[in-house]
């Protein structure tokens, strides 16, 4: 029988739970939250060449198509800023928090060899 991975937020909880579960379980801590909705205004930097190409593309459009295109882009930017898409069943677009990449990498590695995974984090996320 393989191992079962249990993910908790606190290292102290991981240590305590590990004492009760035994050798068939690997209990790991995420050391707090590892993901969240995007911070407002934090987007990818825009490449100047891509911005110029986009401007050239819209410059050639007729006014009605240009207005519809700009409205659609503004809607997409709003959804990206909010981090939740109301047009896609309120799907959340989580981002890994800065400094948590190593923790996520370790948890992914452990999850590949686990038969079962229990997410036992706090209910606030």
Q: Is the pLDDT of residue 63 over 60?
A: yes
Smallest CA-to-CA distance from 114 within 21, 13, 24 is with: 24
pTM for the complete prediction?
0.66
Q: What is the pLDDT of residues 88-101, one digit of tens each?
A: 899 998 889 999 99
The residue extents of the domains of the chain are 1-37+94-125, 38-93
**What architecture is the 1-37+94-125 domain classified under in CATH?**
3-Layer(aba) Sandwich (3.40)
Q: What is the overall mean pLDDT for the chain?
A: 88
Residue 41 has pLDDT above 80, yes or no: no
Which residue is listed with tokens 């290292």? 11
Q: What is the pLDDT averaged over residues 1-22?
A: 91
């Amino acid at each position: 029988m393989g191992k079962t991975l249990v993910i908790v937020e606190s290292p102290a909880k991981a240590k305590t739970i590990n004492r009760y579960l035994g050798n068939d379980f690997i209990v790991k801590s995420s050391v707090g939250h590892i993901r969240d909705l995007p911070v407002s205004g934090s987007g990818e930097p825009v490449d100047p060449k891509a911005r110029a190409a986009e401007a050239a593309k819209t410059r050639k459009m007729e006014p009605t198509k240009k207005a519809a295109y700009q409205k659609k882009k503004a809607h997409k930017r709003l959804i990206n800023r909010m981090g939740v898409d109301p047009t896609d069943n309120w799907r959340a677009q989580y981002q890994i928090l800065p400094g948590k990449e190593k923790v996520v990498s370790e948890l992914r590695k452990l999850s590949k060899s686990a038969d079962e995974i229990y997410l036992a984090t706090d209910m606030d996320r």
